[in-house]
Structure 1
Amino acid sequence: MEETQSLTIEGRNAVLEAFRSGKTIDKLFLLDGCMDGPIRTIQREAKKHDTIISYVTKERLDQISETGKHQGVIAYAAAYTYASIDDMLQKAKDAGEDPFLIFLDNVEDPHNLGAIIRTANLAGAHGVVIPKRRAVGLTATVAKASAGAINYTPVAKVTNLSQTIETLKQEGMWFVCADMGGSTMYDLNLTGPIGLVMGNEGSGVSDLVKKHCDFVASIPMKGDIDSLNVSVATGVLTYEIVRQRLLKK
């Protein structure tokens, strides 16, 4: 079932991508007197879409900003519509590709979620799946960190990750989760219909979710510290999946 969440979009690139992707913007706040190139481009898009424009002071923008990094532009979107997993599977089918989904087990930092959505988009993943509880949702900070990818890559919220994984396994998907104790990612066959499961910033993938995965993959590390940031680790594993898919063609 789809659900909506109002969304404040901040930053020049994020607002421009929102307009260009067809998202409904109810109101646009621009820094009064600022008329450089990027702002003029956003202004043109807003007029094209009959969006209400308010020219306000920097103090007013700072007051309504959620991120503190508005770059002189803030937009109020009518709503953000969460996708369903069926939407993601259909997207893969329409592209003639095996499904490739990224599951996040209680990722809490909005910058990490935004970066992962951005990576998912560039790597050709068909969607990102997040749990409804104990995890960050689609906030303004997430939208900005995704650099506009949030408008193109579907994000689904599910009540229970483990149950969702089991349902998809019955439909032919395989699941690999990231953990330092797993097999080196280069030794695993990560082709075919796959779900990549990444864990919480501090504790990783929970034992409950991990036991539902078919493989556990580790990233080879040679340094003096023991782990990568979750968004970086997601990028590394995602592109190993991309590499294996390209070799299989």
Structure 2
Amino acid sequence: MVIYGTHPVEEALRGRRKVHRIWATEPGNWTGNVTIVSADEIAERAETDAHQGVAALVDPYIYVDEAELLAVENPFIIALDEITDPQNLGAIARTAEGVGVTGLVIPERRAAEVTPAVCKASAGAVEHLPIARVRNLADFLQSAKDKQCWVYGAAAGSDTRYDQPDYKGGVIAVMGAEGKGLRPRVASMCDDLVSLPLLGKVESLNVSATAAVLLYEMLQQRLDAST
């Protein structure tokens, strides 16, 4: 896989997968097997002009097993229900890594996976964030509930405001695709559906913005509980 962009390459060098080769327009502080080339050559290798003067050949992305995410005490997980936009997946992954979640869960089908575009959109956060791909998201949520986790889905118009539930302990935040929301079976696995108040004229927020608000509310409660 060829990833591109300053932060993605920097984080890959610090992350779990092997970086085999780096192409850069300037020497910079890159380590390893670095070749100085033109911007056009990098664009050709990266298949985009948004490379910021650097690209790298790395191992395929390393997904974790879903059981690993639930094996820790009081897991803090975000699950995405058929989010297909790589920019949204990358942005959510960046926030998720920032708040220190146990991991992120995505379905194997009809969903974005970790691609170079997602690496770029996450600013390299995917290199440090455990991500699991599951065959059936509803079944994963049931497994989480069996381990005493509480599951909260984001749903516009829900009567429960996002800051009302108790997010301490094991908790899963579930986000649905823009326009479609959560699929019925996934929604049925949630202990509650929560919504963000919208006081302006727009009817909804981008899913990555919603995820950021919800995850930071969850983090704040968990930080308060630990002090």
TM-score normalised over the length of structure 1: 0.86
Distance 1:112 1:214, change over 3 A: same
Q: Given that residues 190 and 241 in structure 1 are in contact (C-alpha distance below 8 angstroms), is that contact kept between their aligned partners in structure 2?
A: yes
| Partner of residue 87 from structure 1, selected from 65, 68, 79 | 68
What letter is aligned with 2:179? G
Structure 1 residue 8 displacement after superposition? 2.0
Provide the rounded CA distance (Å) in 2 between the counterparts of 1:67 and 1:130.
25
User: What is residue 20 of structure 1 aligned with on the other side?
Assistant: 14
Runs of at least 4 residues off by over 4 Å? none
Q: Give the alignment of 1:3-152 within 5 angstroms.
A: 7-31=1-25, 34-35=26-27, 40-42=28-30, 45-46=31-32, 51=33, 53-90=34-71, 92-93=72-73, 98-152=74-128
CA shift for structure 1 position 161: 0.2
Helix, strand or coil for the counterpart of 2:172? strand
Higher helix share: 1
Q: Percent identity?
A: 36
Q: 1:22 to 1:190 in 2, by over 3 A?
A: closer
Q: Give 1:227's aligned residue.
A: 204
Deviations 1:32-65 (A, max 9, x none): xx34xxxx211xx22xxxx3x3333222222222
Tell me if structure 2 keeps the 8 A contact 1:67–1:140.
no
| The 10-residue stretch of structure 1 (59-68 or 209-218) with the greater mean CA deviation from structure 2 | 59-68
Q: What TM-score, normalized by structure 2, do the two folds share?
A: 0.94
- State the distance in 2 between where 1:27 and 1:218 align: 45
Q: CA deviation at 1:30?
A: 1.8
Deviates further, 235-244 or 61-70: 61-70
C-alpha distance in 2 between matches for 1:191 and 1:78: 36
Structure 1 residue runs without a partner (length 5+): 1-6
How many angstroms apart in 1 are the aligned matches of 2:78 and 2:16? 24
Counterpart amino acid of residue 129 in structure 2? T
Give the whole-Å Cα distance in 1 for the aligned partners of 2:114 and 2:198: 31
Answer whether contact 2:12 2:124 (CA < 8 A) is retained.
yes
Root-mean-square deviation over aligned CA pairs = 1.4
Deviation sequence 1:59-92 (CA, Å, 0-9, x none): 22222224431111110102211011222234x4
Query: Displacement of 1:22 after TM fit?
Result: 4.7
Residue of 159, 162, 182 corresponding to 2:138: 162
Deviation at 1:108, TM superposition (A): 1.0
Q: Distance in 2 between matches of 1:138 and 1:68?
A: 19
SS at match of 1:236: helix
Aligned positions of 1:178-189 closer than 5 A:
178-182=154-158, 183-189=160-166
Which letter maps to 2:42?
L
Shift in Å at residue 156 of structure 1? 0.4
